[in-house]
Amino acid sequence: MDTNQYMDMFLDESHEHLQSLNDGLLSLEDNMEDISVVNEIFRNAHTLKGMSATMGYNKIAELTHEMEDVLDLIRKEQLKLDETIIDILFKCVDSLGQMIDNVGNGDPEDLVDVSDLVAQLSKISKGEVPEAQGAAPAAAAAPAAPAAGGDAAPASSIELSDVDKDVIREAKEKGLLAVHVHIQLAETCLLKSARSYMVMNALDELGDVIKSVPPTEDLEQEKFDHDFDVVVVTASDIKAVEDAVNTISEIEKFTVEAIDPDAKPAEAPKAEAPKAAPAPAPAAKPAAPKPAAKPAAKKAAAPAQPAKKPHKSQSVRVDIDKLDTLMNLMGELVINKVRLEQIGQTNRLTELTETLEQMDRVTTDLQNIVMKVRMVPVSSVFNRFPRMVRDIAKELNKEFNLTIEGEETELDRTVIDEIGDPLMHLLRNSCDHGVEMPDVREAKGKPRVGEIGLIARHEGNNVVIMVTDDGAGIDADKIRSKAVEKGMISQEEADKLDDADAVRLIFLPGFSTAEKITDISGRGVGMDVVRSKIESLSGHVDVETKIDEGSVFKIKLPLTLAIIQAMLVQVQEEMYAIPLGSIDSTINIQPTDIQTIQNKEVIVLRGEIIPIIRMDKLLQVPHVKDAEDLFVVVVHAGEAKAGIVVDNLIGQQEIVIKTLGSLFTGLKMFSGATVLGDGRVALILDVATMMQ
């Protein structure tokens, strides 16, 4: 089978299942008695095993199979869950993640050695045998309930030809399981052939039926008593086979057991062990409530399927490159629409203007849909952090409670792909530097468990993501002295800085207050990486802190990076665009309204002192003449405000952001450029950088 065409689907779905396994184990660690979570984890491991076996990744299938065995014993309450088992299962999930990543990169899956984990899981399964009577064949323990009538003997009495054994051996090498099913129909069953057909059909859906006794022709013609045997090779497990058979009515009892063609001698005692069970056969009836557990398990599984199916039929996986192309075409459409509007206004073509109004509505709707298609909930980034925080807590011997809010908030896919690392740096810092050791917290009168928050929400045309902690806070004096010690600023400059500005020094390259370097933090490559990454996404990062109360790191990101509303302004002969999301207001002032405070030009607007930025001086544009009236665009970045002085306001317009390319990477003042309707290029001002 050519598996290449399924590779993308396999990788995507595997990562989804791994995330579910991670979430399930975290939940289970909090409440080890919750069997419903164990069932959910089991289902994810089972699906992952089936998918990997189908794709021919036997090592992944082997590890997930061993996980299944342990989880199966836990959910049947034959094995007590503890911290050790949880830790081993977490290690398994990590190893599976590495193996799947290797497979995705075109490397062999066995670059990761999982033999030790497989051995540990195997020991856990076998170690509980004495307590969980007869749990040695963990899989065989399950059929004991429906097959309590002592039909194990016929189940193991099927004769296999050499050809059958060869087929089973070949299947085993591919990671598949050979299962022998013995069916006993009810005496009252009238249509035996119909029931046998339903059994064969159900088993066919799970794998390949390689043998039936009597043969299929005899089953179809009802040339058998009330029982028959089937051998099926499947990528599923014994539980799935049981569930499939259990859905068919008029079956009095059945047994399901794995077949090992090379373990012939060992099978006799295996058959005897259940044979001993017939002695308390009368107890089979009281044990009948156990089958009730089966439908319950089935019910738990059943909702999962209907819930999944509509989702699959209504969604399509689309390559991000195709969405980028679609966005670029949308951008060209917007540029041409603006050009047509200018032609209509210049030549006073009423009909064209009316048509363009209609076209404007259509392109706006189309643009909104294209934007929404690219939007992804931040949960796809957030959901990897609970596990990370849990691991750091163990490593540092601290206690954290991570609270996540607003994970349904949506961001552009290109932004989502980039914010994972900055958020990871911030969370690691909160864990390492922010939250104190439990004893220190207790001495300060705080709870031993530190609170860390990861919050996302919409603010206008932006998404704000905050990382909060209730830790020690950041000491501004310590930051000043460290910055001076490292030669980043002079003592004089440090003394002039207020506390808020001093704390912002942590964003300087190479700055770190860690006394010793650890795996968690302290290399001085954290905060400047965070700032440069966020700014490359046209975002802004800031920090607020109070000693012994904690810190809040606030990241502000644009909703989308492609098409925005902007104000076009003119400085001498040049046109510039200022994003509308950064603009508070536009005002007209006289030159006399400008005052000087501490060698800085400011204006007073509604009682607020606002520094002004003269664009012609900042851009070193040759000065022509003083204007009688000055136009000021009042902008903001975070809490700070400034007034940008320009020669003229052209008006509001939809613009398409184009990157400046590698040639102009040093131009921090501009976040990109746009092509105007008349073909001219206007640079887009980066307000946050201008105000620094």
Of 444, 422, 621, the C-alpha closest to 532 is: 422
C-alpha to C-alpha distance for 616 and 78, rounded to whole angstroms? 78
Kindly state the tokens that stand for 507. 């964003």
The angle subtended at Cα 268 by Cα 265 and Cα 273, nearest 5°, is: 140
Closest Cα partner for 474 from 533, 542, 396? 542
Which two structure tokens, joined as six digits, stand for 671?
């976040």
Whether the bond into 108 is cis, omega within 30 of 0: no
Q: Is 692:540 a contact under the CB 8 Å cutoff?
A: no
The residue among 439, 458, 457 whose CA lies nearest residue 449 is 439
C-alpha distance from residue 560 to each of 219, 372, 564 (Å): 64, 10, 8
68 is catalytic: yes
Please say whether the beta carbons of 660 and 667 come within 8 A: yes
- The answer to whether the beta carbons of residues 630 and 590 sit under 8 Å apart is yes
Which residue in the list 40, 62, 68, 436 is annotated as catalytic? Answer: 68
Indicate which residue of 341, 429, 433, 436 is catalytic. Answer: 429
Annotated active-site residue 40? The verdict is no
Q: Which residues pair with residue 672 across a beta bridge?
A: 684
Contacts of 56 (CB under 8 A, 6+ apart): 3, 174, 175
In whole angstroms, give the CA distance from residue 525 to residue 186.
72
- CA neighbours closer than 13 Å in the CB half-sphere of residue 46: 18
Supply 609's token pair: 């002192």
Largest CA distance in the chain: 110
Q: Is 434:514 a contact under the CB 8 Å cutoff?
A: no
Residue 35 CA to residue 429 CA, distance in Å, equals 35
What are the distances in angstroms from CA 625 to CA 568, 572, 621? 21, 10, 12
The catalytic residue among 17, 46, 182, 540 is 46
Q: Which two tokens stand for residue 27?
A: 């939940």
According to DSSP, the β-strands at 574-579 and 681-685 are: parallel
List residues with catalytic annotation: 46, 68, 429
